[in-house]
A and B are shown apart, each in its own frame.
Chain A
């Protein structure tokens, strides 16, 4: 740290001419002026993005966290700060606990099933030669279509009396069920719809991933003796799809966590709490019962789960699947 001292010491006695030209005003050196101009440009260019980031993402999150600490009701003129009361209430509520559990079960069923089926279909399409575009398109269709419209089709399919599912089951002598109104089948049926909906997305990503695997690796595996289907899959295909799989897991997990429309349209969380999921609880508490503070607390729990997933992705999985 002696160098700066020495420098300032030497500049302490500048030549007289310098003192005449630059009076004791705040005239900046060219370097300082350029730095200021650069900083101004940087803020000007980043400003709009920063504003929208704050206004659309960060401030609402902060607002939700703050609301969760109050007893505010939507439209109410007054609010009281109640600390963690809302959270205590949320976790004491049997309905919420059922909803949380349902959500976890739903995610744990939908994510692995989507992954495995998506990969299987991608492998089948990739190994075949004909009609690839057709198979791709029909599997991707559910992901593109509005679930609101699709829900009507599902409702018809699963209708207890006129639905083709029950009619087909009855025709071959199997027991039928009131799929969406039965406690034991409502959530599984929703999970199947969830898989059906996300399958195409996983498949498209896996197809892209499969195309990206260098042929050389398969050739090397061939020469090394790993030339049977399962050996090739284990030696080359699955490890090379690691990064894609991680991405698919995260995206499908988030989509599964956020599932709402199918629940709202087909079961309304019922019967009882049998098919209630987090986002549906959040919606009902906030907008039907107008308990905004309580709803905000649910939202904060939801946010915590999503954040945890993201952190896991960045910190753990990312490093493991990129083989660095």
Chain B
């Protein structure tokens, strides 16, 4: 077990800068997810952690040891790859045994025929066999040991890849989008298994994904990355409800958060789309701000006026318990999406004029350059906002 500390990592590919001053620390036993769209540098950061690539600047330590310049095998990390990267010519047992063979056997003992005759080889080999079998049984793939990867299903291959990483008890588990090659149903199942695995092993996990559902469900903390920068590192509920940056708010959440431009009229009142909303903001009157409101933060209001937005219904999507109502607001060219409880909003029809209200504490305010504008007096209110399951 070990903590991981990443300090001011920079990485360039030629002219292109893929990581810019990324600093991050992962506590011992923590499950940390690097979340971001493809091309944001999250996989590169993981590969630098593993030692598969070298950073141009900055430093990495695992446990107490600075590992810069150490080869992957000296770092006590194990990695699960997106493609699983199983050796196709080896059986499941040999695949899982390889990391142990490479560490415990000398170069001579690994020789094809001669190695078996050397003293100690047989004893070590049977130890390795035992450990492989134990790990395989723990993962429920004990019956597959004699098969080759080509004969396995996606989920089984995934387990073998995890088994190969697990078998030598690394200090840190690195996972690079391990679920993205599975179908939707299996992905949810394996997500649970990875979570259980983490709880059982109690070691540090660094997990890379572009899927926010995985990040939100698995992690102790989520690190949101965009364009080579770390935007926010926080527990999943804070990432969702209390984003530091406009880009985080936009990236997290499905359906997407509503973004509206407004001007602060006077203290606590904001002009937006022909209405006035009450907000918690300490800023000068006349300041241009961006409001971000989650679709489920809206509730049906009986009348327009202060604290409510008014628009005409463009489209309704029935989702069972909820309705997704698309509203056209005056002066806003993209529709507003409100997620309303179906039982409270039974009579909505397209073309109708609708008023939706929103509590001041559910409105996230961002300055024009994308930074979050929090009320100075209290900044923790948003994190206690009850989190609703976001539909995916």
Contact = CB atoms under 8 A, between A and B. Distances in A.
B388 to A, nearest CB: 38
A214 interface: yes
Contact of B71 (A220, A227, A236, A324): A227
A241 B181 CA distance: 25
Contact of B103 (A214, A219, A222, A225): A225
A240 B88 contact: yes
A323 B98 contact: no
Interface residues of A, number: 20
Interface residues of B, number: 29
A219 B88 contact: no
A227 B85 contact: no
A147 B78 CA distance: 53
A243 to B, nearest CB: 10
A224 B99 contact: yes
A216 interface: yes
A324 B79 CA distance: 25
Contacts of A222: 51-52, 71-73
Interface in A7-49: none
B221 to A, nearest CB: 24
B87 A236 contact: yes
Contacts of A89: none
A223 B78 contact: yes
B89 interface: yes
A231 B52 contact: no
Contacts of B73: 222-225, 227
A225 B89 contact: no
Interface in B74-98: 77-79, 81-83, 85-90, 98
Nearest to B165: A223
B102 A225 contact: yes
Interface in A126-170: none
Contacts of B90: 239
Contacts of A323: 88-89, 148-150
A216 B72 contact: no
A245 to B, nearest CB: 12
Nearest to B104: A225
A225 B104 CA distance: 10
Given A224-B102, A225-B103, A242-B89, A219 B81 contact: yes
A151 to B, nearest CB: 41
Contacts of A223: 50-52, 72-73, 77-79, 99
A235 interface: yes
Contact of B102 (A216, A231, A239, A242): A231
24 contacts: A216-B81, A216-B82, A219-B50, A219-B81, A220-B164, A222-B71, A223-B50, A223-B51, A223-B77, A224-B73, A224-B98, A224-B99, A224-B164, A225-B98, A225-B99, A227-B72, A231-B102, A236-B87, A239-B89, A242-B89, A323-B89, A324-B148, A324-B150, A324-B151
Given A222-B51, A223-B73, 11 more contacts: A217-B87, A219-B85, A220-B86, A222-B73, A223-B72, A223-B79, A224-B73, A224-B98, A227-B73, A239-B87, A240-B88
